[in-house]
Amino acid sequence: MAELTLDSVTKVFNEGGSDEIVAVDDLSMGIEDGEFLVLVGPSGCGKSTTLRMVAGLETITGGEIRLGSNVINDTSPADRDIAMVFQSYALYPHMTVRENMSFGLEESTEMPDGEIRTKVEGTAAMMGIEELLDRKPADLSGGQQQRVALGRAIVRDPEAFLMDEPLSNLDAKLRATMRTELQRIQEDLGVTTVYVTHDQTEAMTMGDRIAVLNDGVLQQVGTPLECYHTPNNRFVAGFIGEPSMNFFRMTLADGVLSGDEFSYRLPADIESTLGDATDLTLGVRPEDIEFASETGDLDEYDYECVVDVVEPVGESNNVYLRFADAPEAPTFIIAISGMRNVSSGDRVVATIPPDAIHLFDNRTGEALKNRSLAAVDGVTPR
């Protein structure tokens, strides 16, 4: 169990050639001992490359990776005491489950056979696969294979676990079950874990902290809720959260934001924090937009809208609205309770409260203002 530090890590493919690719650009972050860190980002953002550099399966072009206090840049994968779970499970097809799980211990330790056997059986019991020990991978279902892959990593008792989208090949229901189980196992074992996924739901639900990457550059590292409520930039704001945040391009003049779809008067206290930026994007999350079905008197931040499409999710409805004054503009999404009934074509009123808006500088993408969390209540004990 040790802390993992990435210090200005860079990876360049085909360096100097005409097809040079910078896959990871100056990435620095620290992962604490026992922490579950999720590396999340869209396809091609460099998260798998980063993971493979930590594993030793890719060379590092620049920077250092340290496990504990040891620099492991040039250590071979076999000597790093790191176990990895692959997306395709990568089990050895000609060996039984027992042999698959014993292989790592046989090759990287001097453990006697009896001890290996006991350890394997103990881990198999923890994973719930003891009856499968003498079967071959081809005879197992996807979920069972995944448990064997996990068991194979656990039995080695490594300094760190690396997981490369291990749940991607499972069906949705199994994925949800395994998510919880993985979290539980990691907490029980207390092993530092780096988990790569492109699924932001997995990132939000599983990580102690998440690190968002885009195009090889680290966008933000923080707890899931930090990234959700106080995103560093527009990319993180749009990536985290499902359905994703609504964005409106606006220009600021005289305290009023004007855009193609609507105008928005900025309260003075917000305006003063913006500096001299005028080309802005206003972001607001679907669940923060208030909603009234009748068109009565319109207050300051009320807007008349027409319902376009309703997506019932069950516990909520995703409603696509169009501004009544801007029928050609794209729709935006609000999330309302599943118990409220709306249909396409209804005329409604949407309210965008000023304490829920995020403002981003269009030039840099940086977040200039995030939503205020003052109104958030804690749970009051009885």
Partner 1 sequence: MSTAEDGRRPKRIALYVVLVAMAAFYLTPILTGLMTSITSPESYTGQSPYLPPLEPLLPGTGSFSLQPWTTALGELGRGLANSFILVIPATVFSGLFGSMAAFGLTNVDWRGQVGIYATLIAGIFIPYQAVLVPLTQFWYNVVPLQSLFAPLTVLPFVHEYHWKLVALIVTHTAYGIPICTLLFRAHYKKLSDEMIEAARLDGASVATIYRRIVLPLSIPMFAVVFIYQFTQIWNDLLFALTIIQFGDAAVVTQELVGIGVSQSGTNFPLRMAAALLAALPTLVVYVLFGDKFAEGVTA
| Nearest alpha-carbon partner for 38 in 189, 233, 182 | 182
Q: Smallest gap, in angstroms, from Cβ of residue 108 to partner 1?
A: 3
By C-beta, is 54 or 252 nearer to partner 1? 54
Kindly tell me which of 4 and 359 has the beta carbon lying closer to partner 1.
4
Q: Which parts of 5-34 interact with partner 1 (CB under 8 A)?
A: none
Residues 137-156 binding partner 1 (CB under 8 A) are 152, 156
Residue 21 Cα distances to 8, 14, 16, angstroms? 17, 7, 10
Between residues 137 and 283, which has the closer beta carbon with respect to partner 1? 137
* Shortest Å distance, C-beta 57 to partner 1: 5
Q: Is 330 in the site for partner 1 (CB under 8 A)?
A: no
Q: Give the nearest distance from C-beta 82 to partner 1 in angstroms.
A: 7
Window 66-95: residues binding partner 1 (CB under 8 A)? 76-80, 82-84, 86-88, 90-94
In a 13 Å sphere around the CA of 27, the CA atoms on its Cβ side amount to 36
Sheet holding 290-292, edge to edge: 290-292, 347-351, 302-312, 316-323, 332-337
57 binds partner 1 (CB under 8 A): yes
Q: Does 207 bind partner 1 (CB under 8 A)?
A: no
Give the C-alpha separation, 230 to 213, whole Å. 16
DSSP string, 50-102: HHHHHHTSS--SEEEEEETTEE-TTS-GGGS-EEEE-TT----TTS-HHHHHH
- Which strand ranges, in their side-by-side order, compose the sheet holding 256-259? 263-265, 256-259, 246-253, 279-284, 358-361, 367-369
Closer to partner 1 by Cβ: residue 152 or 229 = 152
Assess contact for 361 and 337: CB atoms under 8 A: no
Instruction: Point out which span in 103-111, 199-207, 247-255, 355-363 binds partner 1 (CB under 8 A).
Output: 103-111
Give the length of the chain: 382
Q: What is the largest CA-CA distance in the chain?
A: 80
Interface with partner 1 (CB under 8 A), residue from 19, 107, 297, 328: 107
Instruction: Give the pair of three-digit tokens for residue 306.
Output: 């027409």
- Interaction between residue 283 and partner 1 (CB under 8 A): no
Q: Does 205 bind partner 1 (CB under 8 A)?
A: no
Measured from the CB atom, is 78 or 298 closer to partner 1? 78
Answer whether 105's CB lies under 8 Å from 155's CB.
Answer: yes
Smallest separation (angstroms) from partner 1 to the CB of 81: 9
Residues binding partner 1: what is the number (CB under 8 A)? 26
| Closest CB to partner 1 among residues 80, 209 | 80
Looking at residue 268, its amino acid is A
- Could you tell me the smallest distance in angstroms from the CB atom of residue 80 to partner 1? 8
Q: By CB under 8 A, name the one of 27, 40, 55, 148 that touches partner 1.
A: 55
Give dist(CA 135, CA 96) in Å, integer.
5
- As measured in angstroms, the least distance from the Cβ of 30 to partner 1 is 23
Contact call for residue 160 and partner 1 (CB under 8 A): no
CA distance 84 to 186: 14
Query: Where on the chain is the footprint of partner 1 (CB under 8 A)?
Result: 55-57, 76-80, 82-84, 86-88, 90-94, 103-104, 107-109, 152, 156
